[in-house]
Chains A and B, each alone.
Chain A
Amino acid sequence: DGGITQSPKYLFRKEGQNVTLSCEQNLNHDAMYWYRQDPGQGLRLIYYSQIVNDFQKGDIAEGYSVSREKKESFPLTVTSAQKNPTAFYLCASSRLRDLPNEQFFGPGTRLTVL
């Protein structure tokens, strides 16, 4: 089956630790995105990547880092510099990077800082 997978589903982190969230897609999509969702809120863009080995900051990139070494993978690291990391993180991909098209979402990772 084609789709986007995120792991883990739940993640607990102690303050001061870095954690990495995995996102993999087998849809052969060019573009990938990371969003953060807080309770009762919409999605806010953290980082996005249009092609391999290239990525851009979104609206709330501070305290986060990404890499795009392979087309199918776009991991997100939540660093200790992120002041309030507890949230629901969603990864998405889209087939085209420069034309209007739908985004396909993974099931999400819920991160809790203890």
Chain B
Amino acid sequence: SQQGEEDPQALSIQEGENATMNCSYKTSINNLQWYRQNSGRGLVHLILIRSNEREKHSGRLRVTLDTSKKSSSLLITASRAADTASYFCATDYNSGGSNYKLTFGKGTLLTVNP
């Protein structure tokens, strides 16, 4: 099955700096989602971008999607220590009929140092 691949695997920055994470995928998608996971916890949905959208904003988050390159980026501006977490991209695929599933990448571990 297709899978998003995040890059880098780990990122360490200082508070106040911007953090950029990238995701590449293999086949055509309907939409791409980004999730956040604090250590040992469940995932929290951050943003969904559809295949006909190129950019989307939500607070300090900016997501871009380039379907020609099969890639997406997540930018967190003015990072805070509380942004420390793993970030996953998830792509959808239709397994046939009316089913809808997501495939998750391995994630980027972001550490924001105070």
Contact = CB atoms under 8 A, between A and B. Distances in A.
- Co-complex (A, B): yes
A102 B98 contact: no
Contacts of B88: 42-43
B99 A98 contact: yes
A42 to B, nearest CB: 4
B33 A42 contact: no
B98 A48 contact: no
Contacts of B57: none
Interface in B1-23: 1, 3
A90 B43 contact: yes
A75 interface: no
Contact of B42 (A45, A97, A108): A108
Interface in A32-77: 33, 35, 40-45, 48, 50, 56, 58-59
- The size bracket of the interface on B is 20 to 34
Contacts of A110: 40
Contacts of B71: none
B45 A103 contact: yes
A58 B101 CA distance: 9
Given A59-B1, A100-B50, A108 B99 contact: no
A83 B105 CA distance: 23
A98 B44 CA distance: 21
Given A48-B99, A50-B98, 9 more contacts: A56-B99, A58-B101, A59-B1, A96-B100, A98-B98, A100-B48, A100-B100, A103-B43, A103-B102
21 contacts: A31-B100, A35-B104, A42-B104, A42-B107, A43-B43, A45-B101, A48-B99, A50-B98, A56-B95, A56-B99, A59-B1, A90-B43, A101-B100, A102-B48, A103-B43, A103-B45, A105-B42, A106-B42, A107-B41, A108-B41, A110-B40
Interface of B: 1, 3, 30-31, 33, 40-45, 48, 50, 88, 92, 95, 98-107
What 6 pairs across the A-B complex have the smallest Cβ distances? A105-B42, A102-B45, A98-B98, A42-B104, A43-B104, A42-B106
